[in-house]
Amino acid sequence: MSDVFAALANPTRRELLRLLLERGEQPVQQLADHFDMRRPSLSEHLKVLRDAGLVVEHPVGRQRLYSLRPEPLREVADWLGPYERFWRTRLADLRDVLDGLPDE
Cα distances (Å, whole numbers) of residue 26 to 5, 6, 59, 80, 83: 23, 23, 11, 29, 34
Which residue ranges of the chain lie beneath pLDDT 50? none
pLDDT score for 56: 97
pLDDT value for 1: 73
Q: What is the pLDDT of residue 7?
A: 94
Residue 23 has a pLDDT of: 95
Task: Indicate the pairing of strand 26-27 with strand 63-68.
Answer: antiparallel
Give residues with Cβ within 8 angstroms of 8, minimum separation 6.
14, 17, 76
**Residue 67's pLDDT is what?**
97
Residue 18 confidence (pLDDT): 96
User: What's the predicted TM-score (pTM) here?
Assistant: 0.77
pLDDT of residue 103: 80
**How many CA atoms, within 13 angstroms, populate the side-chain half-sphere of residue 85?**
5
Query: Which amino acid is present at 94?
Result: L
